[in-house]
Amino acid sequence: MPTEKKSKFIVFEGIDGSGKSTQVKLLASKLLKNNISHVLKKEPGDTIIGDKIRKLLSEDSDMSSLTELFLFSAARKELVDKEIIPALENETLVILDRYIYSTIAYQGYGRNIDLEYIHHLNKMATSDLKPDIVFLLDIHPEISSSRIDSKKLDRIESESIEFYSRVRNGYLEIAEANPNTWMIVDASKQPEQIHTQIWDRIY
Ligand code: TYD
């Protein structure tokens, strides 16, 4: 039974098919079991405007990389102002499925948008709010792509293995540059094993 909360703002990152959402759910249900109140949110979305943006982003329509960047940033601005900051001010534990690092990895490393632009937009969207812990569910894109149903791929999930390799390398670079905040988890392991590693890092 945890006695002390070491962190308030916890972020999960990883490429599509890394099992990130499964880990978010496992963590949330363990928190519930332990009567630890928390707020669980997901990017993009989880606000009225954010959900509309999420739909636009997943549709199979032609979109420039910069349009994509602005849409993710707009959805983030809504979520941070309306949900994340109020919850943290209330001293509630916040778990967020994707944050600014998704934009650095996908739009920066994946789409090759200038990282300076991205850092600037991320700062604008979040007032430079940083998480206490980031869990990176790291997996080889060949393995993650085999986990996703190929008939249900959305616009971004349809990207090539090369794209996902760049995204993965981007995540690893950020994680390696920030060892105090980031924990790289081998996402090819069994979900329960990963969950235990995550729980032990938080409590
Ligand atoms: P996610 O919610 O993890 O996928 P799913 O819809 O399957 O639950 O993420 C949505 C997609 O958006 C995913 O392909 C990653 C991408 N994404 C970016 O490219 N940039 C971003 O800034 C964010 C937040 C997500």
Q: What is the pLDDT of residue 4?
A: 53
CA of 1 to the centre of ligand 1 (A): 33
Residue 128's domain comprises 9-202
Which residue in this structure is represented by tokens 């032990």? 200
Angle at 34 between CA 28 and CA 38, to 5 degrees: 45
pLDDT tops 70 at residue 1: no
Which residue in this structure is represented by tokens 């604008």? 124
Give yes or no for a contact between 22 and 191, defined as CB atoms under 8 angstroms apart.
Answer: yes
Domain count for the chain:
1
2 located within any domain: no
pLDDT tops 80 at residue 5: no
Beta strands 133-138 and 38-42: pairing type? unpaired
Q: What is the pLDDT of residue 2?
A: 55
Q: What is the pLDDT of residue 6?
A: 45
pLDDT tens for each residue of 60-109: 789 999 999 999 999 999 999 999 999 999 999 999 999 999 999 999 99
Residue 145 CB–ligand 1 contact under 6 Å: no
3 located within any domain: no
**Collapsing DSSP states into helix, strand and coil, what is residue 133?**
strand
Angle at 131 between CA 161 and CA 76, to 5 degrees: 65
Q: Which helix (H) or strand (E) holds 32?
A: helix 20-33
- Look up residue 153 and give its two tokens: 């791929």
1 located within any domain: no
4 located within any domain: no
- Look up residue 64 and give its two tokens: 């420039």
pLDDT tens for each residue of 180-192: 999 999 999 999 9
**Best residue for ligand 1 mutational test, from 25, 47, 98 (most atoms within 8 Å of Cβ):** 98
Residue 73 CB–ligand 1 contact under 6 Å: no
pLDDT tens for each residue of 111-161: 999 999 999 999 999 999 999 999 999 999 999 999 998 878 889 999 999
Q: What is the pLDDT of residue 86?
A: 96
Question: What CATH number corresponds to the domain at position 193?
Answer: 3.40.50.300
Residue 74 CB–ligand 1 contact under 6 Å: no
Span 45-62, mean pLDDT?
94
Closest CA to 111 of 54, 75, 159: 159
CA of 13 to the centre of ligand 1 (A): 10
